[in-house]
Amino acid sequence: MADETPTRSSGTPDDGGHRRSGAGEQSPLQARAAFFKNWNWQSVTDLNRRLCARGGAQYGVNSESGSAAGASWEAGRGVERTLAEALEELRAYHRRAPFLFFKGNTFADIARALAALLFRELPAVRLKELTSAVAHYVAGVLDREAMVEIVEGLSQSASFQAGDRVKTRRGSLRGVVTRVLEDKARRGAGGWWRERAFLSAGKLAAG
């Protein structure tokens, strides 16, 4: 189920103690909303059913944890959380295993949908990487520190200048920017300029 949950920023850090994105700049993981307000438990089970059908697995609810998970989801659906807390909640539901199959994919897809809505103004390439990161975190294949680094890094607008020392996200390529070229295409009225920074040690495309 698609949701249009409004978000607002929070001035206090969440329980996970996320760092700020920069001096005086708040982490996007601090955005607050009732993220699950438009996701009732029936929509969650419908998503799992579709994933099972697509993957050729039999849909089923875990008799030991399914009912309790559904009840607690409904009870907390309207609670306002930070994005970080919402991702933790989705990860916890994955571990509770309310479904027999594709439980990780189910809650990862919800995380992906929430992030896609919240960061919808990002360029397509960044948005794809960011939503993939939160989905992989919820599914348990990406650790928290890496997820935070990716979300905070990709949600910022890159602005390179000649002489800047830069590196790729995983640190596999490092160098100094020698030239910055602007793409001609904008996105939206205000738009995002995509910048290409050429390094002395190689070429890095950002945007």
Listed residue (84, 69, 92) closest to 133, CA to CA: 84
Confidence of residue 170 (pLDDT cuts 50, 70, 90): low
pLDDT, residue 13, reads: 40
CB atoms within 10 A of CB 93: 22
CB atoms within 10 A of CB 161: 9
pLDDT, residue 21, reads: 46
| Mean pLDDT, range 132-137, rounded to an integer | 98
pLDDT, residue 134, reads: 98
| Mean pLDDT, range 131-154, rounded to an integer | 96
| Mean pLDDT, range 131-155, rounded to an integer | 95
Confidence of residue 156 (pLDDT cuts 50, 70, 90): confident
Place of tokens 């929509």: 43
Q: Domain extents for the chain?
A: 28-154, 165-206
pLDDT, residue 168, reads: 53
User: Where do runs of H (alpha helix) occur along 59-143?
Assistant: 66-76, 83-96, 103-118, 124-139
DSSP bridge pairs for 174: 167
| Mean pLDDT, range 127-139, rounded to an integer | 97
Q: What are phi and psi for residue 189, nearest 5 degrees? A: -65, -50
For the chain, give the mean pLDDT: 78
**pLDDT tens profile 4-54:** 444 554 443 444 444 444 444 688 999 999 999 999 999 999 999 999 999
